[in-house]
Amino acid sequence: MNKKILLISTIVLALDQISKALIDITMKFGQSIPVLKNFFHITYYQNSGAAWGIMNSLTFLLILLTIFILIIIYRYMYSFKQNKRNILAFGLLIGGIVGNLLDRIIFGYVRDFLDFYIFNYDFPVFNVSDMAIVAGIFLLIIAIVKGEEVNGRDKGKRNKKPA
């Protein structure tokens, strides 16, 4: 694995696990602390499912699925052009996925605590790993749109005729 991807993944994983440990130590399950009233709260929640609680209580299946996804990402990342954005994208993705995987393996659920109210909608509670995963996916979508996902070569350059 690329050393930079490993470094980014490790930083994301550390930030995720430290922030979750602080929540575990300082809050009780279900406790909510308003930071910006009616917009942002720190709310301790334990999610035994995936995003938005889907596949609730299917922890073993989610662990297997996550390991499978990590294998696919590891194999697929080498087919992308190696630039700063793509290295960051895969580092964020891997670190975030591993952070939530560790929670599922150790606790049987994922510890969430970032709680936003947007236009009177109580957005599902999430964590640092979730943010890293979403940012990584967003950056990979940009890479795919730019055509950088074909064996490390830029599609645009490959399709141009020689002068």
Residue 38 carries which side chain, given as an amino acid letter? N
Question: For residue 5, which of 101, 69, 102, 85 has the smallest C-alpha distance?
Answer: 85
Question: What are the residue numbers of the active site?
Answer: 112, 130
What per-residue confidence (pLDDT) applies to 78?
87
DSSP state of 4: H
Integer Cα distance of 149 and 143 in angstroms: 7
What number is the average pLDDT over the span 106-127? 93
Question: For residue 113, which of 50, 8, 26, 11 has the smallest C-alpha distance?
Answer: 26
pTM: 0.86
3-state secondary structure of 162: coil
pLDDT per residue as tens digits for the range 75-98: 889 889 889 999 999 999 999 999
What is the percent of the chain with per-residue pLDDT over 90, rounded to a whole number?
A: 69
Domain ranges of the chain: 1-35+67-120+132-148
pLDDT per residue as tens digits for the range 28-66: 999 999 999 889 999 999 998 777 666 777 889 999 999
What per-residue confidence (pLDDT) applies to 151?
59
H/E element, 132? helix 128-145
Helix axes 59-76, 84-107, angle to 10 degrees: 160
